[in-house]
Amino acid sequence: MATRRRRVVWTELARRMLDDAVSYVAQDSRPAAERLLIQALEAASSLDVHSERGRLVPELDQPNVRQLLVQRYRLLYEVTPAEVQVLAFVHGARDLTGPGFEG
């Protein structure tokens, strides 16, 4: 049986959050920032086939929103029948229920 592939799409918010995280890490170490970027992009790309392997996000009561851990960050994504939408890239210590999180 063929494995179903979904298209992986980054939202504008998620791209900005990833850029901000990479810029922040680069202030201390450019190689570490490059590793973070590569790992985040690879993690997202891998969701085309194994999109439901990530853990449900406990703070968000949404059954289609899942997360993968990338170093100290959480890559949040939503699975639909046709695609995987990367919603946010946030530090693991960030409170997703507090004000300021729209992801």
Residues 6+ apart with CB under 8 A from 63: 56
Total domains, the chain: 1
| 3-class state of residue 29 by DSSP | coil
Please check whether residue 24 lies inside any domain of the structure.
yes
The pLDDT of residue 100 is: 53
Please check whether residue 54 lies inside any domain of the structure.
yes
Please check whether residue 51 lies inside any domain of the structure.
yes
Please check whether residue 97 lies inside any domain of the structure.
no
The pLDDT of residue 59 is: 87
Please check whether residue 101 lies inside any domain of the structure.
no
Residue type, 87: L
Please check whether residue 96 lies inside any domain of the structure.
no
* Parent domain of 72: 7-91
pLDDT in tens, 30-53: 999 999 999 999 999 999 998 988
* pTM, rounded to two decimals: 0.88
Interhelix angle 30-45/12-26, rounded to 10 degrees, is: 150
CATH of the domain at 39: 3.30.2310.20
